[in-house]
Amino acid sequence: MDDLLYLRAAGTSLVLDLSGTGLPRIVHWGADLGALAPGRLAGLRAADVAQTVANALDEPVPLSVLPQQSAGWPGTPGLSGHREGSAAAPAFTVRTRSVREESRRLTVDAADADGGLALTLEAQLTDAGLVRLCAAVTNTGDDPYHLAELTLALPVPAQATELLDLTGRHLRERAPQRHAFTVGTHLRENRRGRTGSDATLLQTAGEAGFGFRSGEVWGLHVAWSGNHRSLAERTPDGQAVLAGGELLLPGEIRLAPGATYRSPWIYGSYGRHGLDELAARFHRELRTRTRHPSSPRPITLNTWEAVYFDQDPAGLTRLAHAAAEVGAERFVLDDGWFRGRRNDRAGLGDWYVDADVWPDGLHPLIDTVHGLGLRFGLWVEPEMINPDSDLARAHPDWILAASPSRLPPASRHQQVLDLARPEAYAHILRRLDTLLREHRIDYLKWDHNRDLVDAAAHHQTTATYRLMDELRARHPQLEVESCASGGGRVDLGVLERTDRVWTSDCIDPLERQRIQRWTGLLLPPELLGAHVGAPVAHTTGRLHTLDFRAGTALFCHFGIEWDLTTASPAERARLAEWVALYRTLRPLLHSGTVVHGDHPDPALWIHGVVSGDGGRAVFALVQMATSVQSPAGRVRLPGLAPEADYHLSPLPPGDRPEGPFASPLPWWERGVTLPGRVLAEVGVQAPTLFPERLVLLEAVRS
């Protein structure tokens, strides 16, 4: 039927009701419904119309992807604003629709003639089974329109009775929190001017008790690196939605006649059997991008926790040689190389090599690094400025502030450079472009070390996007890492322009197991920077074995953040073994399906990666704390082909089960061969490990 659009991809169905002149309404988003004839689609729509009840509107309220207060929606409106005090709720009428069958994409043009607004809505079901929504609103009136919010919504069914979102802080990003999906609005707002360490990557709703491998789940992500909001809302009439968009501060978007505001993309993912399936859709989608990293992810040595601000050319040269000896492939010079930067109190904005520290410039170190066969990377923080800098003294008006009479509170002794100001933008672009042209720099670690306080963020975010895009256009081979005090800018907006994220400034492996577990709901392993630190973690003071540190970093984009010139020969040799394993495994780790076991013991975690053809898998058994029971009991290994036989065995160098078990496991020495179904449904006896230890298992199809 022409007024019903049925889209299917990768186990997901999306049914859109396009009847009448109203905005599109989602009849179904979730499990694949198979081949449905037009008559069956009409029946599905008819079966979805609710009754009218006492003291309600005479007709059921149509919930569109942009919920309209004017249509009777009692929850959060999709679009609101005012025209110099006149704030009538928009009422859009559809003028045209178009469908691109090959890309499963719908475009709708609508207008509110009385309100002087035009609206373009886009909805798509991607090859990975993700739903994408965005909208653009244009002021067609004769006077300015002040846009307050533009929020797009995806309905979820009554079975979604539990919510999962994430919070956190610096050094402890991505902490999960679960609660009932009750009547009302669960609202997550970010006003930090960047994605935020406390941001929820996903607003997720699902069946009660859902896990990684069980329960239906629906999740929403806002692909935007500035202020944003997401919400889960249930009304007393039984309707429930996940919704999100950019969070606009009062007066931030003032549309002059003819001007247009375009929302960020909103992504929705569905999992029939738990969070792993929901996450796998994001992973597949990201891996199909034309800009997705396609070369093997190089082993990176970053100098920050090795030397901090104590940059010495001779010492860094020795560190580069040590990095090459253990098998590193990229050397990144972190903070401290530029003019006046002896600590974090000065220098930001003065992007010139400090001649006092580097009298011969960076070229000798860069030449050494390249001569060792490594790529060279450099740390920058282009969006920031220290008041103690030549740039701030020359142009104090370039500091981003809500009022010219006062500065925002300082953070890390720095302020924000107003990139929406054309002359500030041009200066930073010129300095970065000059650095890249004058030096053989392959990689930028692009940091963002403070929140935006007391300042509008929309224009700063769009200017940052333009700056990244322009540098990438001028230097096509350049790779960029998104860092923001660690994991403070992790979203699909910035990942359109970068090649990985720095997952957290905390590289304590115990904390990283948690952080990487939940960041992986959105991003695949190859986009998550994870480094092997020194024996004692800089941010927590914990002492961990090298095997636990390296085994934790293995399942992401592996790197090193340790002064290897102080490591013993035995430590360097052991690290080289892990580097060699990563090189062997990265084709699997960075293309396969990430899986997690829903193990009943909260102290024992199981996660792994299974190849796309099911021929090989690697699993980690991670003892996060002491267990109530001992021995550990059986662990199930998910994701393998059910009917295929697999030989399961410990994988060196992660094959040392350090733990208080009295006798060796019978199967450990030679391995065991079992069908994938048995490994997933019955499992194998696991070694009892000391806390904060792990072992690796490899399953190879027989």
Q: Which residues are catalytic?
A: 447, 505
Nearest to 484 by CA among 495, 473, 469, 470: 495
Burial of 288 (0-12, 13-18, 19+ CB in 10 A): exposed
Nearest to 544 by CA among 694, 692, 688, 696: 692
End-to-end CA distance of the chain: 49
Helical (H) or strand (E) element with 103: none
Q: Give the span between the Cα atoms of 99 and 550, in whole angstroms.
A: 49
Q: Give the span between the Cα atoms of 107 and 120, in whole angstroms.
A: 7
Amino acid at 606: I
Both tokens assigned to 59: 């007709």
Q: Give the span between the Cα atoms of 650 and 699, in whole angstroms.
A: 9
Q: Is the dihedral of CA 48, 49, 54, 59 positive or negative?
A: positive
Backbone angles phi, psi at 179, to 5 degrees: -165, 165
Q: Give the span between the Cα atoms of 85 and 83, in whole angstroms.
A: 5
Non-local (6+) Cβ contacts of 299 within 8 A are: 327, 328, 329, 330, 558, 559, 560, 579, 582, 583
- Helix extents (H) in 554-602: 569-589
Q: Give the span between the Cα atoms of 333 and 386, in whole angstroms.
A: 20
Angle of the 313-326 helix axis to the 569-589 helix axis, nearest 10: 60
Q: Which residue has the tokens 């935020």?
A: 196
Nearest to 609 by CA among 556, 530, 649, 671: 556
Q: Give the span between the Cα atoms of 347 and 337, in whole angstroms.
A: 10
Q: Is the dihedral of CA 436, 437, 439, 440 positive or negative?
A: positive
Q: Give the span between the Cα atoms of 548 and 536, in whole angstroms.
A: 12
Q: With left for phi above 0 and alpha for psi between -120 and 50, is residue 454 left, alpha or beta?
A: left
Both tokens assigned to 457: 């963020």
- Helix extents (H) in 99-213: none
Q: Give the span between the Cα atoms of 519 and 489, in whole angstroms.
A: 12
